[in-house]
Chain A
């Protein structure tokens, strides 16, 4: 691989042992993937925050970094943690977990990383620009950055995005190169796609069938950010799909090279139904509703409020919505939260149903409108999850 004089110095240890290791890591990942150079990144989004997902080993790694007093060199922000940083007790998080979680966040903060604790940085002002090179690691955010904004990022891991945030470079391979961003499969969407859960079902269906292959969706009528984030998240979860195009909606779709299409498939009502049937598992009473995978926007929260109208959530059922701290801070949001709390809807920030231990541990029968959440919550077989549209959920759990 070609390295600039400065990059070579980093690799040779002139900026310390930790920088040398992290540079080595990025260079090696690049070499294995055929990269011939490193490219600067605009910013980084770093996963590996929840104590549930990183466990004790992260502390050894932090020790190595703090010995050299390492800081990030580009704007960087964090994925969700394992708990709401303020309302963790209300969630049922134990003291020991909370203490470990706070330690992890503090360590990241000391490296100069913003503690946004969200999987949707693009909803809180960090919108990537067309053509920007990034090192993002949350799989749904990666797919939105590529598809909806036309920025360029591979699906990084927690460690590689952190390494890139610190050294300021990533290796030039995969989705950083135009030729690797072309679609291979056309999906003709014949089924009606209205609800967020429909977008999620479409994504889940595609990812499961065509692992890792970039699709080109046609006949999709609406594709706003809240709809596309459901589609992208589900596809990334079921099939590690990190980029996609939607005709007439996503920025690369119009000019993209369609000469590599090898197959056209249709997504019809029966395919949609098959996904809803797969996640139709609750046989007993519902314990918990979880909304906000990916994190809810303010519009999402308003929709919950307007769908509920004058009704409240039934006794014995918990209704949890996950979002980011920053979105829930302004006066309009605060008023909305108070209003929703009175109706039995609880908004937690900084965390989600997937990375917090309490949802899986404490609630058996869970309703959601996100196929990604359904996928992760049912993976080890202890929880039963049913996927429904938001309006169906609210109809069923309110009175």
Chain B
């Protein structure tokens, strides 16, 4: 089991399965707020659902109304369990706070290579760590 240090943006203790986007994600135009499905055809996760996964991505890009998409995911009960990014910026910070989805960043490793899709993760913001249990 591997442990990664994190910075907490939105608190929570969450256990779940990772879904890793190797490239920056645009929530606006890239994720369907009604279904939780990734609709960006350039993303290798195209067609996959974020719902109830721990969604891992390097950073976000695109329109700032992406925050409303993240909020919409939660209102429609199709939100991810938590979000992990290399670098948090305004779009996802705003979205995660509005939706109250646990969100962490600034890990000591590149999350998109140290975490693999399917890994079982435990995020614990009381200790500022992620534990990775390999698949």
| A residues whose Cβ falls under 8 Å from a Cβ of B | 21, 24-25, 28-29, 32, 47-48, 53-58, 60-61, 63-64, 137, 156-160, 163
Contacts and interface: CB of A to CB of B under 8 A. Distances in A.
Given A53-B63, A56-B34, A60-B75, A29 B68 contact: no
Given A29-B93, A159-B94, 5 more contacts: A55-B68, A157-B64, A157-B94, A158-B65, A159-B67
B94 A160 contact: yes
Given A21-B98, A47-B64, A48-B64, A57 B71 contact: yes
A74 B34 CA distance: 33
14 contacts: A32-B89, A32-B93, A48-B68, A53-B28, A55-B28, A55-B65, A55-B68, A57-B33, A57-B68, A57-B69, A60-B68, A156-B64, A156-B90, A159-B67
Contacts of B93: 25, 28-29, 32
Interface in B47-75: 63-65, 67-69, 71-72, 75
Nearest to A50: B65
A32 B75 CA distance: 26
Nearest to B75: A60
Contacts of A28: 9-10, 93, 97
A159 B88 contact: no
A28 B94 CA distance: 8
Contacts of A61: 68, 71-72, 98
Q: What's the interface size class on B, roughly?
A: 20 to 34
B69 A158 contact: no
Contacts of B67: 157-159
Nearest to B73: A57
Which 5 pairs, one residue from A and one from B, show the smallest C-beta to C-beta distance?
A157-B64, A57-B72, A60-B75, A57-B68, A159-B67
A28 B91 CA distance: 12
A58 B64 contact: no
A54 B93 CA distance: 18
A157 B65 CA distance: 7
Contacts of B90: 29, 156-157, 160
Contact of A25 (B72, B76, B94): B94
A54 B71 CA distance: 12
A54 B97 contact: no
Given A24-B97, A28-B9, A163-B94, A158 B71 contact: no
Contacts of B10: 28
Interface string B27-47: 010000110000000000000
Contact of A159 (B34, B65, B75, B76): B65
Contacts of B68: 48, 54-55, 57-58, 60-61, 158-159
Given A25-B93, A159-B98, A160-B94, A54 B65 contact: yes
Nearest to B67: A159
Contacts of A24: 97
A159 B70 CA distance: 12
Nearest to B96: A28
Contact of B64 (A25, A56, A159): A159
A27 to B, nearest CB: 9
A137 B90 CA distance: 12
A32 B9 contact: yes
Given A56-B33, A60-B71, A61-B71, A25 B98 contact: yes
Contacts of A53: 28, 63, 65
